[in-house]
Structure 1
Amino acid sequence: MDLHVSLEGRKDLAGQIYRQLRAAILDGRLRAGEALPPTRELARRLEISRNTVAVAYDRLTAEGFLDGRVGAGTFVQEAGPVSRGAPEASPLRPRPIWDEITVWPAWTPGVRWDFRVGVPDVRLFPYESWRRIMAGRLRPSALDDPAAAGDPAGLLDLRRAIARHVGVSRSVRAGAGDVVVTSGIQQALDLIVRVLLEPGDVVAVEDPGYPPARLLLTAAGMRVRGVPVDAEGLRVDALPEDARAVYVTPSHQFPLGMPMSLPRRRALLDWARRRDVVVVEDDYDTEYRYAGRPIEPLQSLDEDGRVLYMGTFSKIMRPVLRLGFLVAPPSLHRAFRMARYVSSWHADMPTQAALARFIDEGLLARHLRRSRREYQARHERITELVGAASGSGLTVIPSVAGLHLSATLPDGTDDAALARRALAEGIGLFALSEFAVTGRGGPGLVLGYGAVTLPEIDAGFGRLREVIAGRV
């Protein structure tokens, strides 16, 4: 093992080795059964005599910490239960904002019917095809590729594949040079903040909206302002005059589900142009559209190059595949490359190469067609069930895309308490008020259908109606 031992001066060398090894054993850094380096090897590394190391080993053996086995080596015999970790007493303190940030969504064990938003069905993913491609990218010949050193913007093959994919499936205007590969939407937004914004800048977000984006902006020192949405999406007339950036989900408003109308999208772009504002477009699940005409993204309508377009593969493939992308105009290419470089350089190269091949072989398009049919059936079923449950106070908000839908509840309903009671019955879902930026927001429920099968939807919603009615 790569054991770290350091010596200070030339006094009591055997004692120094003894104390460091004993502390490592008691701390649990050296576990019972682990082999120590031979005395000759450790002596060579420390540039001391072998006898000095042997004295330390002998003392630890005599005290029962080590066990010397003839012809086999020296092994730890007794170990501490846990490592001490870093010193508890430290003068360092985080900025106060980090006392206010919490993980969203919180992990909730024991869920039987998973209606949580943003969770795709990993059972639909073509694991065999992915495993084949990934194995090919882990061959020594592939890993020795000089290109694997890593362009901060991401592997060129993947950026080309992404540009083609979003051009065909989303009408996004982009070439490989416009694409920056990220580890998801959150990192893409973080790069935008680093490159274009200053602490104290006002950033307008939809209200209700996506909590992690709001948390990231707040932690970065932005002044976040919630802007109400209506049936046509973000209300441009309610945008703050001093906004420096606007974060929107125009294709499928999160969490309410309506698309931003074409007049409203044009009004937003005109407003941003007149005030020299950055528009951040989060297109997180536009591939899953089940009816109506495709929604043209803001990026394709933008004639000024002020829309930054973000996307992710977590919703269409699997959440643990932390890959997303950012599409930016040429004037920002170098800055985003450097921001990516100083923050984490690049994403996992074998996974990037595998995803490029996955797209180029048509496997992503095939997976989308198959999963879209399945999710559409679930969308229709849960819409039907919510519509039939109007007597319980639920009113569905019309939506024709994505992996979730929302339903309102009568004013005065404590939707957070209702969500907690549902969780106690094994139903995982979110209260609509949880997404409010200012105030509490209107009560309702946000129901994801990515992770539940059709039979599970029927059973889980049946139990949810009992929870709403107070029968459980």
Structure 2
Amino acid sequence: MDIHISLAGPGDRASRIYRQLLDAILDGRLRSGERLPPSRELARRLDVARNTVTVAYERLTAEGLVVARVGAGTFVTDEPVARARPRPAPAGGVRPRALWASAGPTPVAARQPAYDFRLGTPDTGLFPLGTWRRLVAGELRASTVRHGYRAPDGHPDLRAAIARYAGLARSVRARADDVIVTHGAQQALDLIGRIMIEPGDRVAVEEPGYPPARRLFHSLGAEVVPVPVDDEGLDVGALPGDARLVYVTPSHQLPLGTPMSPARRAALLDWVADRDAVIVEDDYDTEFRFSARTLDPLQALDRTGKVVYVGTFSKTLLPMLRLGFLVAPASLRHALLAAKQLTDWHGDHTNQAALARFIDSGELSRHIRRATRVYAERRALIDTALRDDFAEWLVPVPSTAGLHLCARLRPNAPVELATVVERAADHGVAVEELAAYHAGDRRQAGLILGYGAIETERVPAGLRLLARCFPAGTGKRTVDVGSPVRVRDLPCAGRRRREDRRDGPAAAISDLGPGGGSTTAPA
């Protein structure tokens, strides 16, 4: 390993070399067993006599910090390991903008909870890793890595595959040229905000809603205005008339889970039609549907070019892949591409090409069908428990898609949910409060239970532990949380089994073969 050594400073040259090697050993930059550069080579690099380096090495050897092995070289011993202390960065110094002075990244748990009901995390164990490894390996060829920088909009094959997939699976109106590949949905939101928001512009977000989106728009200088959400979705009548951007999750409202009604969709599109504003439609997890009824996305209903559609593969595949996309009106495309190139130029074309093949071969559709069946069973267990075992405390919010369920606290229920969540965490049960998704002071009380990250067989035990964290009540519990739920007993399970048996041309849309798309049919 190359070692940077400066000969500037007090003392003779041998002493300067000795002190810098000593510091590197004691602060852990040179670890036990690592080899120092040969004395002749280091002397040549520093343009000093070899004897100068030899003197420094001999001092380190005498102190037991390094050992010389005949014919092999000079190595750091085990002696310094116990004394190693990483060198701290300088304290104080320059300060960030006031907005960021007290900010920090959202903590990532060091260990996965024993019973993980957190929102938005898919089951990574369902991911077809062997298939993915084969597809990625097939893209790592000399001919594919010779190219230099790529275009910011993403791999052309993936853009074409996404256009077909989104068109068939979600009714999105898109050509390959309308698609920009991003590092997940969050980068898509950042790009849209960069090209649309001037400092002081007003941005409307759902209340309750997705906190990272709210914080992102605020960081870009926007005045973020929370707009209430009811059982039909965003209250369009409460939108500020001068909003420059409206962020919504109409297919599966985050966190409540309710879809935006057709009337509200029409009202929102009417509201934006004659304004210099944009609607950002975040469709983050509706591949997993548990009802035959679907609604067209806002993007498909838009006739004025005012909707940007955002999608992600973090929920269907793996969050670590950091792959998402946006479909933008033609009037915004050039600005978005300029912002994308300025911020990160382009993404990983190897993974993008592999995903294109994953989609076009029908693997994505098959994976979604398999995962939907698994999630349906977990969802049914949680829904049954909420309606029966938790009925004295919670009221489930109707939902037909996604990876989580929400339940509001019953009026006048003598429960402090923050205490419940804390007790649950002490028992290894991770669950989230609905209040954490509010920006204003008027917060709904409730719990959000995700079912993507917890294994099906662990759901009943996790729910039993969660129930014990509530105060004892007088309500009669009618169903044991551990009662088995069979997939064939779920709504539309028979239809899913029939779809799984289909093959050939008749299954083109469902199986997403070449040129196909993923099905939105229920599990």
- Matched with 1:211 is 211
Quote how far apart the aligned CAs of 1:316 are: 0.6
The CA deviation string for residues 306-349 of structure 1, in whole angstroms up to 9 with x for no partner, is: 21111111111122221111222223223222222222222223
- Matched with 1:379 is 379
CA distance in 2, matches of 1:60, 1:200: 61
- Aligned residue for 1:311, secondary structure, equals strand
Change (3 A) 1:177 1:42: farther
- Matched with 2:188 is 188
The one of 100, 107, 122 equivalent to 1:120 is: 122
The CA deviation string for residues 139-180 of structure 1, in whole angstroms up to 9 with x for no partner, is: 4x255342x632222222222222221111111122222222
Matched, 1:199 2:199: yes
- Matched with 1:428 is 430
Change (3 A) 1:440 1:138: farther
Matched, 1:60 2:60: yes
Change (3 A) 1:336 1:27: same
The CA deviation string for residues 192-219 of structure 1, in whole angstroms up to 9 with x for no partner, is: 1222212222111000001111122223
Change (3 A) 1:168 1:110: closer
- Aligned residue for 1:291, secondary structure, equals coil
Tell me if the contact between 1:411 and 1:442 (Cα under 8 Å) persists in the aligned partners.
Answer: no
- Matched with 2:99 is 97
Change (3 A) 1:43 1:125: same
For structure 1, which segment, 401-410 or 417-426, has the greater mean C-alpha deviation from structure 2 after superposition? 417-426
- Matched with 2:454 is 452
Quote how far apart the aligned CAs of 1:129 are: 0.8
Letter in 2 for 1:54: T
The CA deviation string for residues 424-467 of structure 1, in whole angstroms up to 9 with x for no partner, is: 22221111111112114111111111123443222222332232
CA distance in 2, matches of 1:110, 1:162: 32
| Identity value in percent | 53
CA RMSD after TM alignment? 2.3
For structure 1, which segment, 99-108 or 169-178, has the greater mean C-alpha deviation from structure 2 after superposition? 99-108
CA distance in 2, matches of 1:383, 1:392: 14
Tell me if the contact between 1:415 and 1:432 (Cα under 8 Å) persists in the aligned partners.
Answer: no
The one of 421, 442, 445 equivalent to 1:443 is: 445
Quote how far apart the aligned CAs of 1:378 are: 2.4
Tell me if the contact between 2:196 and 2:245 (Cα under 8 Å) persists in the aligned partners.
Answer: no
For structure 1, which segment, 51-60 or 398-407, has the greater mean C-alpha deviation from structure 2 after superposition? 51-60
CA distance in 2, matches of 1:425, 1:205: 35
Quote how far apart the aligned CAs of 1:102 are: 5.0
Tell me if the contact between 1:101 and 1:215 (Cα under 8 Å) persists in the aligned partners.
Answer: no
CA distance in 2, matches of 1:429, 1:9: 57
For structure 1, which segment, 44-53 or 219-228, has the greater mean C-alpha deviation from structure 2 after superposition? 44-53
Matched, 1:329 2:329: yes
CA distance in 1, matches of 2:261, 2:376: 22
Letter in 2 for 1:316: T
Matches within 5 A, 1:42-441: 42-77=42-77, 78-79=79-80, 80-88=83-91, 90-104=92-106, 107=109, 109=111, 111-139=113-141, 141=142, 143-146=144-147, 149-389=149-389, 391-411=391-411, 413-441=415-443
CA distance in 1, matches of 2:321, 2:235: 34
For structure 1, which segment, 63-72 or 235-244, has the greater mean C-alpha deviation from structure 2 after superposition? 63-72
- Aligned residue for 2:43, secondary structure, equals helix
Quote how far apart the aligned CAs of 1:397 are: 0.8
- Aligned residue for 1:74, secondary structure, equals strand
- Matched with 1:34 is 34
CA distance in 2, matches of 1:462, 1:65: 56
CA distance in 2, matches of 1:418, 1:377: 25
Tell me if the contact between 1:392 and 1:468 (Cα under 8 Å) persists in the aligned partners.
Answer: no
- Aligned residue for 2:447, secondary structure, equals strand
CA distance in 2, matches of 1:284, 1:437: 21
CA distance in 2, matches of 1:327, 1:201: 23
Change (3 A) 1:85 1:100: closer
Letter in 1 for 2:427: E
- Matched with 2:516 is none
CA distance in 2, matches of 1:229, 1:143: 48
- Aligned residue for 1:173, secondary structure, equals coil
Quote how far apart the aligned CAs of 1:109 are: 4.5
Quote how far apart the aligned CAs of 1:257 are: 0.7
Q: Which runs of 5+ in 2 are unaligned?
A: 474-523
- Aligned residue for 2:444, secondary structure, equals coil
Tell me if the contact between 1:291 and 1:400 (Cα under 8 Å) persists in the aligned partners.
Answer: yes
Letter in 1 for 2:85: V
- Aligned residue for 1:118, secondary structure, equals coil
Change (3 A) 1:50 1:155: farther
Tell me if the contact between 1:416 and 1:434 (Cα under 8 Å) persists in the aligned partners.
Answer: no
Change (3 A) 1:157 1:43: farther
How many residues are matched? 468
The CA deviation string for residues 255-278 of structure 1, in whole angstroms up to 9 with x for no partner, is: 111111122112112211222111
Change (3 A) 1:133 1:75: same
Tell me if the contact between 2:197 and 2:221 (Cα under 8 Å) persists in the aligned partners.
Answer: no
State the TM-score, normalized to the length of structure 1.
0.92
- Aligned residue for 2:320, secondary structure, equals coil
Tell me if the contact between 1:209 and 1:254 (Cα under 8 Å) persists in the aligned partners.
Answer: yes
Tell me if the contact between 1:198 and 1:222 (Cα under 8 Å) persists in the aligned partners.
Answer: yes
- Aligned residue for 1:245, secondary structure, equals strand
For structure 1, which segment, 160-169 or 46-55, has the greater mean C-alpha deviation from structure 2 after superposition? 46-55
- Aligned residue for 1:320, secondary structure, equals helix
State the TM-score, normalized to the length of structure 2.
0.84
